[in-house]
Amino acid sequence: MSTGYFPKREKIGLEDLFKGLVTASHILHNNGVLDAYGHISVRSPDNPASFYIPCNISPALVSSPDEIIEYNVEDASPVEKNVPQGYLERFIHSEIYKRFPTVNSVVHSHCSDVLPYGVSGVPLRATVHMAGFLGSNVPVWDISSHYSSGSKHDLLVRDTSVGASLSATFKPATSAGFIYSKMRSALPGAAAEPDHEPDHYVVLMQGHGFTTVAHSIEEAVCQAIYTKEAAKTQTTALTLRNAYFGISVEGKVDVEGGGKIKSGKLKMEGELKYLSDKEAAEAWGSMKETVSRPWALWCREVDVNPLYKNDCPGCEDD
């Protein structure tokens, strides 16, 4: 696979990085992952303590380096003064980059195909090999217990503390790990080992959307698109299964007045087949080596669509 916009694996220029970030914004819109809202960011290839993300503009309309802002990972503050207005939820990105040094790109989406899995109690799982990165357990993060006193209860990630809570969901802490890190950090000259890799590539946000993390722009775009496709496949499969098999009643049934079932239980017929943990891991291991194939197609699709304009240097050569 071409390393492309992969800051940790090769040195690339900012012109190429900005071009890739603009293109990625267009691709995500063209594939229905982002609409007027949502965003993608990338860690700086020159300074891992900062990241780039478009200003407060609809992803389909971002077009030039002037619309891309560099922020500090530490607190999501702009590196330069007098920059355009930024996204309110840039703390999603800064806190993920802070927690995971190997993450280089983040996508936040409100995709309607994925939203039901954050509010229905039905777990989103890998049903197709293209979405093996979902694994067998996609966490659902609920912001409701993380509002600060006097904050707006609008489900938006408005500050570092709420962003830190979301980022922690990508790698849930265990008590043993927490105790070990505390003991290690207490030793003279020692520091706690960072969590370099998240346990999950995708986290659902209750009533809000989802966020995915990756090692590169291409991988982040691929994961975001196939999270949507996996959700569509699972929803269709569940609907088809329920329509075909229906529901049966198992056990002794006592019917109360009004037709209510007093005892017995409902049983769903038919079984939805999910990827095993091994299948999911190895399927994604194979698929991510071919990300350059769909990336080339997606780039061409937005390149010939007059809605999308990429005025970054070098685009005139495409």
Reported confidence tier of residue 252, pLDDT bands at 50, 70, 90: low
Please give the angle made by the CA atoms of 46, 33 and 43, to the nearest 5 degrees.
10
pTM of the model: 0.84
Residue 240: predicted pLDDT: 92
Residue 38: predicted pLDDT: 98
Residue 253: predicted pLDDT: 59
Residue 198: predicted pLDDT: 95
For the ranges 20-29, 136-145, 290-299, the lowest mean pLDDT is seen at: 136-145
**CA 316, CA 15: separation in Å to the nearest integer?**
13
Reported confidence tier of residue 91, pLDDT bands at 50, 70, 90: very high
Q: In the block, which residue shows the tokens 């996996």?
A: 230
Q: Between β-strands 247-250 and 202-205, what pairing exists: parallel, antiparallel or unpaired?
A: unpaired
CATH superfamily of domain region 14-244+285-304: Class II aldolase/adducin N-terminal domain (3.40.225.10)
Q: Where are the domains of the chain?
A: 14-244+285-304
In Å, what is the CA distance from 291 to each residue of 44, 75, 77, 217, 218? 21, 32, 32, 10, 7
70 is catalytic: no
Q: Between β-strands 202-205 and 140-141, what pairing exists: parallel, antiparallel or unpaired?
A: parallel
Structure tokens at 318: 């495409």
Residue 178: predicted pLDDT: 36
The pLDDT of residue 7 is above 50: no
| Length of the chain counted residue by residue | 318
Q: Which residue type does 200 have?
A: H
**CA 265, CA 245: separation in Å to the nearest integer?**
16
DSSP assignment of 221-271 equals HHHHHHHHHHHHHHHHHHHHHHHHH-EEEES---B-GGG-B-S-EEEE-S-
Q: Which residue is catalytic, options 89, 95, 218, 219?
A: 89
The pLDDT of residue 316 is above 70: no
Question: Could you read off the pLDDT of 103-126 as tens digits, one per residue?
Answer: 999 999 999 999 999 999 999 999
